[in-house]
Structure 1
Amino acid sequence: TSVLFRLPQSCVALLKGAESSANQNGETMEPPLKRCRPKLLDSVKSPPRKLNATDTEMEVFKLPEGRPLSAGRFVTHIRYELATHTVKVRRTGVLSDVVKLWDLQGTSAVTESAACHLEGDISRFQRMPSIDSFNAKSHPNEMLTGLRYFERAIKGDNGGPAKPGFDWGQVDTNALAKCLLTLCRELKDTLCLEPRLVKLKSPVYILGDIHGNYRDLVCFEKALWRMGPLLTPASFLFLGDYVDRGEYGIEVISYLFAQKMLAQNKFYLLRGNHELRSVQEMFSFKNECVQKFGESVGLQVWEAVNECFDAMPIAATVDDKIFCVHGGIPCSDLNIENINKIPVPLKDPELESPLAWEIMWSDPVSMDLMTPENIKDLKEHNGFIYNTRRGTAYFFSCEALMAFLDKNGLSHVIRAHEVQENGFQVQQQGRLMTVFSSSHYCGGSNEAACVLADNYKLRMIRIDTT
Structure 2
Amino acid sequence: MEESNVQPVEAPVTVCGDIHGQFWDVHELLRQGGMVPGTKYIFMGDFVDRGYYSLETFSLLMALKARHPDRVTLLRGNHESRQITQVYGFYDGSVLCVHGGLSPDIRTLDQVRVIARAQEVPHEGAFCDLMWSDPDDIDTWSVSPRGAGWLFGAKVTQEFNHINGLSLIARAHQLVQEGYKHMCGNSASIMQVKEDGTTDFKVYLAAEENERDSKNEAARRGLPSYFV
Equivalent AA in structure 2 for residue 456 of structure 1: G
User: Which one of the candidate residues 74, 91, 97 is aligned to 1:317?
Assistant: 91
Q: Which has the larger radius of gyration?
A: 1
Q: Structure 2-normalised TM-score?
A: 0.85
Aligned to 1:339: 112
Distance in structure 2 (CA, Å) of the matches to 1:325 and 1:239: 6
Greater RCO structure (CA 8 Å; 6+ sep) = 2
Name the residue aligned to 2:5. Answer: 196
Q: Alpha-carbon deviations, 1:138-166, whole Å to 9, x = none? A: xxxxxxxxxxxxxxxxxxxxxxxxxxxxx
SS at match of 1:216: helix
Check whether the contact 1:327–1:361 (CA below 8 A) recurs between aligned residues. yes
- The answer to whether structure 1 residue 446 and structure 2 residue 195 are counterparts is no
- Percent sequence identity is 27
Within 5 Å, which residues of 2 pair with 1:369-384? 383-384=140-141
Higher helix share: 1
**Which residue number in structure 2 is paired with residue 237 of structure 1?**
42
| Unmatched segments (≥5 aa) in structure 1 | 1-191, 282-312, 371-377, 424-435
Render the CA deviation track for 1:6-53: whole Å, top value 9, x for unaligned: xxxxxxxxxxxxxxxxxxxxxxxxxxxxxxxxxxxxxxxxxxxxxxxx
Q: Is the 8 A contact 2:94 2:197 kept in 1?
A: no
Structure 1 residue 421, shift from structure 2 partner: 1.1
Q: How many pairs were matched up?
A: 206
Counterpart residue type for residue 235 of structure 1: K
Alignment-derived partner of residue 221 in structure 2: none
Q: 2:74 aligns with which of 262, 269, 273?
A: 269
CA distance in 1, matches of 2:14, 2:122: 27
Contact 1:323 1:410 in 2 (8 A): yes
- Gapped regions of structure 2 (runs ≥ 5): 209-228
Q: Which whole-Å CA distance do the structure 2 matches of 1:278 and 1:323 have between them? A: 26
What is the CA–CA distance in structure 1 between the aligned matches of 2:120 and 2:153, rounded to whole Å? 30
**Could you tell me how far apart the structure 2 residues matched to 1:404 and 1:267 are?**
26
RMSD: 1.5
In the other structure, the counterpart of 1:356 is: 127
Once the two structures are TM-superposed, the CA of residue 422 in structure 1 deviates from its matched residue by 1.3
CA-to-aligned-CA distance 1:344-380 (integer Å, 9 cap, x gap): 41234336xx2221111000114xxx6xxxxxxx5xx
What is the rounded CA distance, in whole Å, between the counterparts of 1:346 and 1:196 in structure 2? 13
Q: CA deviation at 1:393?
A: 1.2
Q: Which residue of 2 aligns with 1:385?
A: 142
Contact 2:123 2:148 in 1 (8 A): no
Task: Tell me the distance in 2 between the aligned counterparts of 1:457 and 1:205.
Answer: 12
Q: Which amino acid aligns with 1:420?
A: V
Do the aligned residues in 2 keep the contact of 1:336 with 1:408 (CA within 8 Å)?
Answer: yes
What SS does the aligned partner of 1:418 have?
A: coil
Structure in which a larger fraction of residues adopt strand? 2
- Could you list the runs of 4 or more consecutive aligned residues of structure 1 that deviate by over 6 angstroms after TM superposition? none
